[in-house]
């Protein structure tokens, strides 16, 4: 009999279940308070009931947990100082979407050597999130793989769906069941409608295949997630945070029944891929806000230790 199955599979190694990992690496009540309080604050910002702005700031991705904690200890006092005006979240990205190939992130390859020690990667990611939540610093991440949220989503205060996956049905369905607010980025070609369509989909209930806490393949039923918004990240064509661009996304959101609340990613296309331009983007946006633009609810900024 000719072989037709698993022709390109070398191995399938079992991974610890999400529930077993949570039991082995539990979170404290203080950690959960950090997450829950921040999620509530973000939801209030999205509704326009909290005048503060949301700022997601931190390294492009996490490759060294020790360096990440060093960064966190610099960020925490600043976050506390600005808390009456800004809700600060540390950017803690463990997964890297690749245009073609490259390092896929700490979960996939924690040793940065191609060994793809995912059991270690998953534990390392959860341990870092626990430490950050314990110190009262809320975190944000990008949700890329539909399996990984089961392992640490209860420790995340805000999550992004990236430009390459905003149009993915899998990610829209997943967002409808995630417990934290979600930001959908505009497509790499600059499409705003793709992100708004993702919001429309995510606020609806869905049924889809996933895993439960014990790693069993399950039919997952969701309620829908009302706490979503657009993230403007620019495109290959250039920035998209000008008054003209904000007016365009405001019109699309209002037409679709959403309150016009938008986060701007100050990196990527909006900085024309030059990190030194990020402060200029922030200054421009704050000037627009001072002039009466109410749609700007937050910023995303990439920064790291020097």
Considering the domain boundaries, does residue 294 fall inside one? yes
Considering the domain boundaries, does residue 30 fall inside one? yes
Considering the domain boundaries, does residue 126 fall inside one? yes
Considering the domain boundaries, does residue 69 fall inside one? yes
Task: Walk along the chain (306 residues) and give the pLDDT tens digit of each residue.
Answer: 999 999 999 999 999 999 999 999 999 999 999 999 999 999 999 999 999 999 999 999 999 999 999 999 999 999 999 999 999 999 999 998 766 677 889 999 999 999 999 999 999 999 999 999 999 999 999 999 999 999 999 999 999 999 999 999 999 999 999 999 999 999 999 889 999 999 999 999 999 999 999 999 999 999 999 999 999 999 988 999 999 999 999 999 999 999 999 999 999 899 988 899 999 999 999 999 999 999 999 999 999 997
Considering the domain boundaries, does residue 4 fall inside one? no
pTM over 0.85: yes
Cα separation, 234 vs 271, whole angstroms: 8
Host domain of residue 198: 18-302
CATH number at residue 75: 3.20.20.70
| Residue that has been written with the tokens 């039991």 in this structure | 23
Considering the domain boundaries, does residue 9 fall inside one? no
Considering the domain boundaries, does residue 279 fall inside one? yes
Specify the number of domains making up the chain: 1
CB 59 within 8 A of CB 303: yes
Cα separation, 144 vs 124, whole angstroms: 17
> Which tokens go with 33?
């308070």
Cα separation, 91 vs 68, whole angstroms: 10
R_g of the chain, CA atoms, integer Å: 19
Considering the domain boundaries, does residue 255 fall inside one? yes
Please report which helix (H) or strand (E) contains residue 14, including its range.
none
């Amino acid at each position: 009999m000719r072989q037709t199955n698993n022709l390109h599979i070398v191995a399938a190694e079992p991974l610890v279940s999400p529930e077993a990992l949570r039991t082995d690496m539990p979170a404290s009540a203080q950690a959960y308070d950090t997450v829950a309080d921040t999620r509530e604050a973000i939801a209030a910002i999205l509704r326009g009931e909290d005048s503060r702005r949301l700022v997601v700031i931190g390294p492009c991705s996490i490759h060294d947990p020790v360096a990440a904690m060093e960064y966190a200890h610099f960020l925490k006092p600043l976050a506390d100082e600005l808390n009456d005006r800004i809700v600060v979240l540390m950017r803690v990205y463990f997964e890297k979407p690749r245009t073609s190939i490259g390092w896929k992130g700490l979960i996939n390859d924690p040793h940065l050597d191609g060994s793809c020690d995912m059991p270690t990667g998953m534990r390392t990611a959860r341990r870092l999130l626990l430490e950050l939540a314990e110190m009262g610093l809320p975190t944000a991440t990008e949700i890329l793989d539909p399996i990984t949220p089961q392992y640490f989503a209860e420790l995340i205060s805000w999550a992004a769906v990236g430009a390459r996956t905003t149009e993915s049905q899998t990610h829209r369905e997943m967002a409808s069941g995630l417990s934290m607010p979600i930001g959908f980025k505009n497509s790499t070609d600059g499409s705003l409608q793709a992100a708004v369509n993702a919001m429309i989909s995510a606020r609806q209930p869905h049924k889809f295949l996933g895993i439960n806490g014990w790693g069993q393949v399950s039919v997952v039923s969701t309620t829908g997630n009302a706490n979503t918004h657009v993230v403007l990240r620019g495109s290959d064509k250039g920035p998209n945070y000008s008054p003209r661009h904000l007016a365009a996304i405001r019109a699309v959101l209002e037409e679709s029944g959403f309150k016009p609340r938008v986060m701007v990613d100050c990196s990527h296309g909006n900085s024309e891929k030059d990190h030194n331009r990020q402060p200029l983007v922030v200054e421009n946006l704050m000037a627009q806000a001072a002039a009466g633009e109410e749609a700007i609810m937050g910023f995303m900024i990439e920064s790291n230790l020097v």
